[in-house]
Chains A and B, each alone.
Chain A
Amino acid sequence: MNAIHREEQQALARAVLEIDVANHPGVMSHVVGLFSRRAYNVEGILCLPVGDGRQSRIWLLVNEDTRLAQMIRQVEKLEDVIAVRRHHAEHAVFTELEDFFRP
């Protein structure tokens, strides 16, 4: 990513979503499918099991968009989603991983 493009990207407002889900095959498809069917790009995805592994936590980095509030409501409707929390883009979960994503 060149410097200009990177600045453009950062100029876009971002949001981080923290989503607690049941941990079984297909849950990620349910979540990201809601975004892809609306041509809404997911910029970053992290997911690991939590505690005893019956639940996972998905972190999504997305662009701010007028559709974001509707997206959150749609995600909340999924049977396998337990909770959705919204954070600002500076949330440490993605910023601390930047070293792993150097070009």
Chain B
Amino acid sequence: MTETLSGAQITVRLLERQGIRLVTGYPGGAILPIYDALSQSTAIRHVLARHEQGAGFIAQGMARATGEVAVCMASSGPGATNLLTAIADAKLDSIPLVAITGQVPKSMIGTDAFQEVDTYGLSIPITKHNFLVSSTEELLEVIPRAFEIAASGRPGPVLIDIPKDVQSRAIDVDTWPAPGHALPAPAAAAGQIAQAAAMIADAQRPILYLGGGVIHSGASRLAVDLAEKAHLPTVSTLMALGALPVDHPLSIGMLGMHGAPYTNLALDECDLLIAVGARFDDRATGKVAAFCPQAKIIHIDIDPAELDKIKTAHVGIVADVGDALAQLLPRVPENARETWVDRIQALKTAHPQPLPGLDNPRSHFGLIAAIAACLDDEAAIATDVGQHQMWAAQAYPLRRPRQWLTSGGLGTMGFGVPAAIGAALAEPQRTVVCFTGDGSILMNIQELVTAAEQQVNIKIVLMNNAVLGLVHQQQTLFYGQRLFASEFQAMPDFVGVARALGIGAVDLDQASDPLAALKDALTRPGPCLIHAGIKAEEKVYPMVPPGAANRDMIGA
């Protein structure tokens, strides 16, 4: 059946056919045709953010919680530039996103028209791919392709910039393209799998090193199976937390700058490092030359450009990590590896993660522990960026893949609240906790209005120390205690702000029984801000100074 449809209607229909049921964005002149078409869709619900960056992070929260491609929209000019930070964040953490931006009409491109910016040019280095759609007909090809690219291989953000006249012009459509989905990745080479299996069999002190790719690939179960079969002590990057339950006997925690002392010391001793969906990020490796100095390396990643980028692998396997682990598992012999497992246990006992105040809910670790005690593994944990993020990474008992939603690569303050909203919209059955700080929350605090409007079940735990904690910490440790621009002179009444923006709030500092107040806030449905004062002197320990070797930890 031939239909005459505008580019905007075609765009919405293609999103519907793609299975999209929720989009988030912020309208403006150059994207109004699409918003008009969206208003007529009965299949797609639109959640209005209060800033385009909020929309970008809401979409990220949806994508991170579900693993599915999420969609955000913005208008041209400032709408598009406001999206860029969230897109760059998605690129660095390999999050599948399709961002649709309006553009001025084709005839006005290049004339410095009102709200014109070179969105295509600006987004080249921060997207996996991008499109400037030059005709209405092209939409039929570009939109499914954008979803295919976002989901295939190493996931990532794709931007589609659509001029207003391309949205408005009507064409006849008689056939629809198939929706775009992830293409299968090339299989791992059998010879390399055999070689890797032999190296694991021969190793005396192997360590399995899991990265975010394990989460993206849905390979957590296989990674745990491999660790158990061959008794491989397993470290996780910040992005992989939850792949292996934190209390699993083979879990040796998070590595790197704020990893536990025994974790980094164990890596120093290992003779084989099996990197799976990890990219040897500088926050994980510390000084690269001193990272796992005795180890041979097996590196499995779906992105060929990650192999040999930082560390040269003895065996580099380009494959979906799930496929590679499934092939590897039957070929790796069972091995109790008692000497090494005992050695790890001894390191763990002698050099544990310092967790002071764990039983005091008015301290940072105690607060995290008290929140965990009120929730089960079905809860999702989002964070902003800063000390609270690292404390949560160190102390929250993460046990489920996609339970942990954090901005790793770009480290974007302002990520937490909108990402938590997105996760709660995508999975309304869950309680979503967002750990944040007094710096981070102000970077997207307008999204509390979105939370109120949507009545999402998010609990924002604001650890307020009245300073930019990690900056304060680095100035204290490495800049002669010259504190500058890191102490806030004015502090808003956050409880009052939350209430003014329409969400419930509780101040644990004022509660006579903080545990009871916390439990009450966490179990009452709907959005709530939980305010807790933290001492500014508290630091994230251990800390590897930037550029130092991971064995040289401060506060270990």
Contact = CB atoms under 8 A, between A and B. Distances in A.
Contacts of B121: 26, 29
Contacts of A25: 132
A28 to B, nearest CB: 11
Contacts of B124: 26, 29-30, 33
Given A26-B124, A33-B124, A79 B149 contact: yes
Interface in B289-316: 303-305, 308-309
B404 interface: no
A73 B132 contact: no
B555 interface: no
A83 B487 CA distance: 53
B129 A79 contact: yes
Interface string A62-83: 0000000110011011110000
Nearest 6 pairs of A and B residues by beta carbon: A73-B305, A79-B129, A33-B124, A74-B305, A73-B304, A77-B305
Nearest to A25: B132
Nearest to B310: A70
What class of interface size applies to chain B in its complex with A? 10 to 19
B494 interface: no
A77 B303 CA distance: 8
A37 interface: yes
B120 interface: yes
Contacts of A79: 128-129, 149
10 contacts: A26-B120, A26-B132, A30-B124, A37-B125, A70-B308, A74-B305, A76-B304, A76-B305, A77-B303, A77-B305
A66 to B, nearest CB: 11
Contacts of B149: 79
Q: Which of A33, A76, A79 has the most CB of B within 10 A?
A: A79
Contacts of A70: 305, 308-309
Interface in B109-134: 120-121, 124-125, 128-130, 132
A33 B129 CA distance: 13
Nearest to A79: B129
A29 B127 CA distance: 13
Interface in B251-309: 303-305, 308-309
Contacts of A69: 308
A76 B125 CA distance: 15
Contacts of A76: 304-305
A73 B305 CA distance: 5
Nearest to A72: B305
B125 A33 contact: yes
B323 to A, nearest CB: 19
A33 B124 CA distance: 8
